Amino acid sequence: MTTASNPEPPAGRAVTRRLLFLYNPHSREGASAAEHAIARLREGGLDIRQERCTSPAGTLAIIARDAALVDGIVLCGGDGTLSAAAPGVIASGLPMGIIPGGTANDLARTLDIPGNPERAADIILDGQRRQIDVGEVNGRIFFNVASIGISADLARGLDPGLKRRWGRLGYALAALKVLSRARPFRATIATEGASVQVTTYQIAVGNGRYYGAGMTVASSAAIDDGRLDLYSLEFASVWRMALMLPAFRKGSHGARNEVRTASAARFEVVTGTPKSVNADGELVTTTPARFIVRPRAISVFAPHQSKPAGSG
């Protein structure tokens, strides 16, 4: 029974008074964004437990230690920071807030969370929540995309200092270098009782809508549809990718003959020799790679969306 002094929250909203605020001081805008967001959250009357997260293991340890003391967990950093903390957040059962502090911030883009830290903090203060899926590759969680091929080579070769200093320009410079050396590889893609052998430059499996600083996984991709979206780049020349950048931005690349696409709840990719898998910007495992979706695995503070971000 509710009273005037203690009303129940509207559906989809969380009563939040205490937050564990974790920020990555090494992300491109982490420390600055954290300072502004924390000030706004405290102005809104919330009690903030502030901690630095400098390693995945340390982040998970902090979450395990403090989860029982708070009503929600806020992460300030890039997509890699969010993915590293995800197992702890899921285990805690607490809602997650996002303050974008990285270079690409693709999960925030998918969820329509603004890059401005004060405006992102206002979304947390509003309390509106959204249940979203997570992807998993060989037991490692990702929010946006996991890929084999060019993106993994890019993650391996991207200098952290260049990334922090130049942001998206740093990505572009590193990508040109990787493309000049790229070679196709053979793989078997299996899903739901069927398999196909391909020669490809990249295989990507998306859970969210955006990756790579605004590229679209698929035109119909959503982070709460209970499915994964795969594409395989089977070009005669890797430089065809550069000509297709507008299509990747819109998510219409699947209409091209050189791009194989599929949507399913699980995939398996096998290669002749082990190849690295890049998940949300971090190299996390190698092939053979088994991808699954975990539907509605985590609750995030985000505006409600009736259609995918960027559509319409």
**CATH number, position 203:** 2.60.200.40
Say if 181 falls within a structural domain: yes
In this structure, the answer to whether residues 193 and 48 fall within a common structural domain is no
In this structure, the answer to whether residues 91 and 33 fall within a common structural domain is yes
Say if 303 falls within a structural domain: no
Say if 302 falls within a structural domain: no
What angle, 0 to 180 degrees and rounded to 10, lies between the N-to-C axes of helices 30-43 and 117-126?
A: 40
What is the full per-residue pLDDT of the chain (312 aa) written as tens digits? 333 333 334 445 555 699 999 998 877 677 889 999 999 999 999 999 999 988 899 999 999 999 999 999 999 998 989 999 999 999 999 999 999 988 789 999 999 999 999 999 999 999 999 999 999 999 999 999 999 998 776 766 555 554 555 455 555 555 656 665 778 999 999 998 899 999 999 999 999 888 776 678 877 889 999 999 999 999 877 666 666 665 555 555 554 578 899 999 999 999 999 999 999 988 999 999 999 999 999 999 998 764 444 443
In this structure, the answer to whether residues 112 and 149 fall within a common structural domain is no
Say if 1 falls within a structural domain: no
In this structure, the answer to whether residues 149 and 77 fall within a common structural domain is no
In this structure, the answer to whether residues 264 and 194 fall within a common structural domain is yes
pTM of the predicted protein model: 0.82
Q: Which residues of 39-56 are buried (b: 16+ CB within 10 A; e: fewer)?
A: ebbeeeebebeebebeeb
Output DSSP code: residue 3. Answer: B
Say if 261 falls within a structural domain: yes
In this structure, the answer to whether residues 173 and 100 fall within a common structural domain is no
Say if 59 falls within a structural domain: yes
Instruction: Give the CATH number for residue 86.
Output: 3.40.50.10330
Spell out the residues 6+ positions from residue 30 whose beta carbon is closer than 8 angstroms to its own: 23, 24, 76, 77, 78, 81, 101, 102
Q: Which domain holds residue 56?
A: 18-127
Say if 134 falls within a structural domain: no
In this structure, the answer to whether residues 186 and 220 fall within a common structural domain is yes
